[in-house]
Amino acid sequence: MKKTMSHNVRSMTLASVGQKICAFIYFTILARYLGPEDVGKYVFTLSFAAIFVILIDLGLTSVLIREGARHKDRLEKYITTILSIKLPLGVFAYVLMILSVFLLGYGRGVIMMVALAGVTMFFDSMHMTFFGALRANGDLRYESWGMVGSQVTSLILGLLCVQFDLPLVCFIGVFTLSSFLNLVFAIHVVRKKLQISCLPRFDRSTFIQVRTIAIPFAVAACAARVYSYVDSIILSKLAGDIAVGIYAIPYKITFAFQFIPLALIAPLYPVFSRLFKENKRELGDHFVQAVRYLAIIVFPLAIGLSVLAQDVIIGIYTVDYADSVLPLRILLVSLLFSFLGFPVGALLNACNRQATQTRIVLGVMLVNIVLNVVYISRFGAVAAASAALVGNMLLTIFGYCVVVRIITIRQVDFFYMLGKIFLTALVMGVLVWWSAETVSSFVRVLPVVGTFAMIVDFGIRSFLGILLYVIGLMTFKVVTQEECRRLVFVCFGKKIV
C-alpha cells in the first residue's frame, strides 16, 4: 500500500512537472507569435469557459473519488449515475455560457472561440470523472500518462498552427482535439482495467446520496474557480484585450510553480488527517516543517525572479510585454502567500474544517471581485495583480488564525524561523541586483551575442544567487542536512524518519 502511494505521488509529480514545462514552452511561443492583443483574446476565452465548466462537475468527481475508494463494489453505480447527471448539466452550462458571452457584447470571433472552448471544457470534465474512478481504485498512472500526452499533443498541434499561420480559433481547437483524445484514452482504460460500464445510467438512491455529499464540494469548487479566473474576465471587459495579454504573462509564470507545494502537500495531507486524531503536538511539528520547506523554496524564488523580472519579460517575451514587469513583481509577492497557504488549507481540510475553509474562500473571492471592479479601469493589469496579492494574503492570514486554534505552535520561534529565511533570501536578492553591471560587463567580453548572451547573463546571475543563498542558509543554520533529507523524502512520497 505504501509502495503504491509513493509510486502514485512520484508519477503525478513527474507528470505535473512535464505538463508544466510543455505548457510553459507552448504559451511562450504563443505569446511571442500572437502579441498582447491576441494573447488577451486567447486567455479570456479559456478563462471564461473555465468558470462555466465547474457547473458541469459541481464536486461530483470529488464525491466519486472519496465514496468510490470507500465502497469499491458500488464504483460502477457511482460513475454511471454521475455521468447521467453531468450530461444534462453540460448542456445547461454550455447554453448559459454562450448566452452570457453574447449578452456581454463580445464580437462574433470571440463567441466562436468561446463556443469551441466550451466543448473542450466539457471533454475535460468528462475525462476528469473517468480518471476519478481510477483514483478511487488507487491508480494514478494512467491519469499521469494522459496529462503529459494531452499536453504534448497540444504543443505539437500548436506549433503546426504557428508554422502554417492559422487563425486564432485554431489554437483553441488544439485543446479541443487533445482533450477529446484524452477522454477516449480514459474511457478505454476504465473499461479495460476496471471492467465497468462507461454508459450513463441514472440510479435514484445513488443520486440522492451523491447530491447530499456533493454540496460542500460544489460550493468550494465554484468559489475557487471564480477566484482563479474572474480577474481575466473583468480585465477583458473594463480594460481590453491588451491588458489581459499583459496580465497573462506574469500569471502564467507564477502559476507554473504551483506544482511545488502540490508535490509537498499530496503525501502530507493523509499524515495531517491521521495526526489530528492521534497526536496534535506532532501535527503541529509537521505543519511547521511543511511551512519551513516551502518558505526555503519560495522566498529566494520570488525575490530572485523579482530582481530579474525585466530580463525575464523582455528577454523571453520581447519588449511588447514590457508592461508585464510590474505585475510580475506584484504576483511574485503574492506567490509567497500562495505557497505558505497550501499547508494552511491542507491542515484545515484534514482537521474537518473544510466548511471554515470554504467560507474564507468565499469571503476572499468577494473582496477580490470588488477590488478588480473598482480599480481595473484605472490601473489595468497592475490592479488585477494587486487584487490577487490581497486575496492570497487574506486566505493565508485568516486560515492561519484558524490553524493556531487547532494546533499549538511556538509563534515566536515560528516567525523567527521565517524571518531568518526571508532575510537570507533578501540579502541574496540585493547582492544579485548589485552584481548586475559587473556580470553584464563580463558577458560583453565573451564571444557571445544576442539571445545567447542574454541567456549566459541570466544563467550566471541565477547561479550566483543560488550559491549565495545556500551559503546563507548554512551560515545562519536555517537548515540542517537532516532537514534536507526530510524535504526530499516528503516531496517524493517516501517515509520520513
Residues 287-330 pLDDT 10s? 998 899 899 999 999 999 999 999 889 888 888 999 999 999 99
What is the grid cell recorded at 384?
488585477
Tell me the average pLDDT of the chain: 85
Least confident interval from 5-14, 50-59, 150-159, 475-484: 5-14
In sequence order, the 6+-apart residues with CB closer than 8 A to the CB of 216 are 59, 354, 355, 358
* pLDDT mean over 374-386: 94
pTM of the prediction?
0.84
Tens digits of residue pLDDT in 155-206: 999 999 998 989 999 999 999 999 999 999 999 988 888 888 788 888 888 8
Residue pair 358/216 in contact by the 8 Å Cβ criterion: yes
Which class for 370: exposed (0-12), middle (13-18), buried (19 or more C-beta within 10 A)? exposed
Is the pLDDT at 132 greater than 90, yes or no? no
Phi, psi of 25 (to 5 degrees): -60, -45
